[in-house]
């Protein structure tokens, strides 16, 4: 949301399972496109399905790994860059325990201290 409120010419896409999980509107920037899996609010479907209806643009995302993998596919089809805020369980939070590592093309990286933002093309198995 921080990035979304500080960039122009962008589409913000936000998805949830259903209306009961959607954030209070005070936390959602104006003009945000909402998708719910059951169609109870906004677009009926997931954010990846909604995204493919929009104009190609660089992708910035956070969320579950299967969604990020699909967004990587979309970014390749669109020939745009994608950047993901990765999630991982953290013990120390400052780079000492290696508990939060993810596999990248440059070896294992710590989400807490090397990230949390990583280019999609850097992520292994994406
Ligand atoms: S949480 Fe310990 S290294 Fe990242």
Closest ligand 1 atom to residue 93 Cα is 1
CA distances from 111 to 85, 86, 106 (A): 9, 7, 13
What does pTM read for this prediction?
0.89
Q: What pLDDT does 9 receive?
A: 75
For the structural domain made of 4-85+116-121, what CATH number should be given? 3.40.50.80
Task: Look at ligand 1, atom 3, and give the residue with the nearest C-alpha.
Answer: 95
Q: How far apart are CA 86 and CA 64, in angstroms?
A: 9
Percent pLDDT > 90 in the chain is: 84
Q: How many angstroms is it from 89 CA to the middle of ligand 1?
A: 8
Residue 62 predicted with pLDDT over 90: yes
Q: What pLDDT does 6 receive?
A: 82
With a 6 Å cutoff on the Cβ, whether 100 touches ligand 1 is yes
Q: C-alpha dihedral over 77, 120, 56, 66, to 10 degrees?
A: 80
pLDDT-derived band at 7 (thresholds 50, 70, 90) equals confident
How high does pLDDT run on average in the chain?
94
Q: How far apart are CA 30 and CA 25, in angstroms?
A: 9
Q: pLDDT tens digits, residue range 19-57? A: 999 999 999 988 899 999 999 999 999 999 999 999 999
């Amino acid at each position: 949301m921080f990035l979304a409120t500080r960039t122009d010419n962008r589409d913000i896409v936000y998805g949830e399972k259903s209306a009961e999980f959607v954030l209070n509107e005070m936390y959602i920037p104006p003009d945000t496109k909402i998708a719910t899996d059951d169609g109870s609010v906004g677009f009926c479907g997931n954010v990846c399905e909604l995204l493919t209806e929009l104009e190609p643009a660089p992708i910035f995302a956070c969320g579950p790994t299967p969604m990020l993998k699909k967004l990587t596919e979309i970014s390749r089809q669109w020939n745009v860059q994608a950047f993901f805020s990765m999630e991982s369980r953290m013990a120390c939070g400052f780079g000492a325990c290696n508990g939060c590592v993810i596999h990248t093309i440059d070896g294992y990286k710590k989400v807490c201290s090397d990230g949390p933002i990583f280019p999609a093309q850097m992520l292994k198995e994406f």
